[in-house]
Amino acid sequence: MQENPSPSAKAESPVVSGPDAALSALVTDIQGYSIHDGPGIRTVVFLKGCSLECRWCSNPECISAQPEIGLFRNLCTSCGACDGVCPTGALTYAPGLPPEIDRSLCSGCGECVAVCSYKALVLYGRRMTVDEVFDLVRRDAMFYDASGGGVTVSGGEPLLRPAFVSALLQKCRDAGIHTCVETSGCAPQSALRQVLPYADCWLFDLKLYDPARHYEYTGSANDDILANAAIVAASGADVLFRMPIIPSISDAPRNLEDTAGFVQRLGGTNTRIELMPYHRLGEGKYRSLDRPYPLSGVAPLTAEDLAGAQKVFEGHGLECTISS
């Protein structure tokens, strides 16, 4: 079992009770026409709640398992429409200025979002049933059929919602839609085994191999991650391991060698890994949540640095690519 789960991200019971369609989860976004989250053109369902808090996370709105309000001050016109609408008094407005949000009082109800015509206020986390999500993703079937794509469930950590994810993927499969799960692997093994039969492929992140460094930079141990990686590999599933390359953190030579050796030892046909270069595209979302960006001032790696990391994995006989 995971030793240090995030207090805001609790795994649901893997036991399904009642009709599958009645299962629900908090969804932060459903993003169509994605080409980086599995084969072909895909629709990605982002679930809210994660068991890790990686310092380089580009989706901070997916970490907490509770609804949250984001405020993009650059879009605010100070129109005052949100003044007085918050039922808990979390949002205060002064004429001519963007509103302020007291995060300790905010319940994430979305009342302020509903009156914001300029989309400066956004709701991160809308509760949706399996049927509601499926109804949206199946509308992109023509793109899946033409490109060999399908539906990818991401997060956050989708394995924290195994009953919901299993039911959604089963409905997709029944409709002839290819299924994929994007995971950090930081979840109970029982959750992984519940979802495993319903995923056609896996995007499995490996961040840091050393357990102490993994805990330092993600807030959690990695024993479940490594064990779950071995389970997925041994199952014969189509899996692409992926590794975020973070300057001065995961690009350390020892970490590259240890991770490459781990994937090599898994054996079988799963000898592929994709390196994901560090970027700062999520920095604006940190500001929208009034959170400091943990890696402020860190610059992305050069193409030469990335090529050097790639050679380490290729030296272990692995097929290694660099994502664009």
In this structure, is residue 78 part of a structural domain?
yes
- Let me know whether 36 and 50 are in one domain: yes
CATH of residue 105: 3.30.70.20
Q: 196 near 230, Cβ under 8 Å?
A: no
- Number of folded domains in the chain? 2
In this structure, is residue 270 part of a structural domain?
yes
- Let me know whether 289 and 201 are in one domain: yes
Domain-terminating residue out of 124, 144, 165: 124
pLDDT at 324: 84
Residue 37: phi and psi, rounded to 5, are -125, 50
Question: For the segment 161-209, what is each residue's pLDDT rounded down to a tens digit?
Answer: 999 999 999 999 999 999 999 999 999 999 999 999 999 999 999 999 9
In this structure, is residue 297 part of a structural domain?
yes
Tell me the pLDDT of the chain averaged across its residues. Answer: 92
CA 211 to chain centre: 21
- Let me know whether 73 and 186 are in one domain: no
Determine the Cα–Cα distance for residues 203 and 175; give it in Å rounded to an integer. Answer: 22
Determine the Cα–Cα distance for residues 154 and 46; give it in Å rounded to an integer. Answer: 5
Determine the Cα–Cα distance for residues 100 and 221; give it in Å rounded to an integer. Answer: 36
CATH of residue 142: 3.20.20.70
Question: For the segment 280-319, what is each residue's pLDDT rounded down to a tens digit?
Answer: 999 999 999 999 999 998 999 999 999 999 999 999 999 9
Length of the chain: 324
Range of the structural domain that residue 56 is part of? 20-63+126-322
Q: 307 near 259, Cβ under 8 Å?
A: no
Question: For the segment 227-236, what is each residue's pLDDT rounded down to a tens digit?
Answer: 999 999 999 9
- Let me know whether 74 and 169 are in one domain: no
pLDDT at 1: 31
H or E segment and range at residue 135: helix 130-137
Output the pTM of the full model: 0.91
Determine the Cα–Cα distance for residues 324 and 310; give it in Å rounded to an integer. Answer: 14
